Homo-oligomer: A and B are copies of this chain.
Amino acid sequence: MRITLQSGNIPAPKFRYSPCVKIGSSYQVSGMVALDPASGTLVAGGPAAETACILSNLQRALPDYGLGLDDLLIARIYTTRMDAFVDINSAWEAVFTADRVPPARTSVGVSALPLGACVEIEFSFVKSEASII
């Protein structure tokens, strides 16, 4: 059965979808853009700031989803600013530090994103039976 998971620590979606859905051991987080937790609007500052905000919001929400970063299977990064990929990558590496096993990742340069964002990241988690027990 599909269960919707919500967190009061991040802005609610602007459209009709669930921020995170759980079916069995699969947890799927919808594509996130960089919404300021206080104002609910897109943060200023471009690719680096948006990436840092998305990863910060994810970490704020994960406890409410019953997940940790170690359950992350893959992150899919969409950006309208592939020319600033080095900045996106630096923000990524500030969270996924060299001392931890990184998840899989796919990065794609696109033409437009919701709310005028320049970075959007989607996250797929799987909770293995071992970690459920």
Are A122's CB and B109's CB within 8 A? no
* A89: chain B residues within 8 A (beta carbon): 15-16
Is the CB of A103 closer than 8 A to any CB of chain B?
Answer: yes
- The A interface, classified by DSSP as helix, strand, loop or mixed, is mixed
- Please determine whether A18 and B126 come into contact, CB atoms closer than 8 angstroms: no
Flag A89-133 by CB within 8 Å of B: 1 or 0 each.
100110010100111111111111110000010101011111100
CA distance A95 to B126 in the complex (A): 28
Q: Are A19 and B111 in contact (CB under 8 A)?
A: no
Selecting from A27-35, A39-47, A52-60, the interface stretch reads A27-35
A8 at the interface (CB under 8 A from B): no
A74 near B130 with CB under 8 A, answer no
Binding site for B on A (CB under 8 A): 1-4, 15-21, 23-26, 28-31, 70-76, 78, 80, 82-83, 85, 89, 92-93, 96, 98, 101-114, 120, 122, 124, 126-131
